Amino acid sequence: MSRESDGIKNNNPGAYGEVRIADDVVGNIAAIAATEIDGVAGTVSNAPKEVLKKMGIRSRSKGVRVVIEDGAVTVDLALIMKYGFNIPVTSKQVQERVRTSVENMTGLTVLNVGIRIVGIDMTNEE
């Protein structure tokens, strides 16, 4: 869990004080946005235990990494794709959705959304 001091301070505080957005919040926004795209089975952190076990992945805490510096965000996602989907096309859709969602919900600028495909979910194909 990120501590409050790990969050980003809103550059445009209102008359009532400052707003801090924790890295975990940005990470959750990114993970939810990614899984809204058809063809994405999940991030490593939210994939079903059975899928993770089949791929030999032990930690559910991995999957989304967020770096916030000077009001700009870099997001790296480890995704599990569904079998049969075009990886480059789906990855581009994920990048666009994550960028749009993070920017709209936080007001931060997204510099980069890196995608790493760590597995293919074939549960519907077996």
The CATH number linked to 63 is 3.30.70.1350
- Tell whether 53 is covered by a domain: yes
Look at the chain and report how many structural domains it folds into. Answer: 1
| Ordered per-residue pLDDT tens for the chain, 126 residues | 333 334 555 555 567 888 788 888 899 899 999 999 999 998 886 555 565 566 555 444 458 889 998 889 999 999 999 999 999 999 999 999 999 999 999 999 999 999 999 999 988 654
- Tell whether 82 is covered by a domain: yes
- Tell whether 102 is covered by a domain: yes
- Tell whether 83 is covered by a domain: yes
Boundaries of domain holding 56: 24-121
pLDDT of residue 3: 35
Give, in degrees to the nearest 5, the angle at Cα 90 between 7 and 98. Answer: 20
- Tell whether 68 is covered by a domain: yes
- Tell whether 52 is covered by a domain: yes
Let me know: does 44 contact 63? Beta carbons within 8 Å. Answer: yes
Query: Around Cβ 42, how many Cβ atoms within 10 Å?
Result: 21
- Tell whether 16 is covered by a domain: no
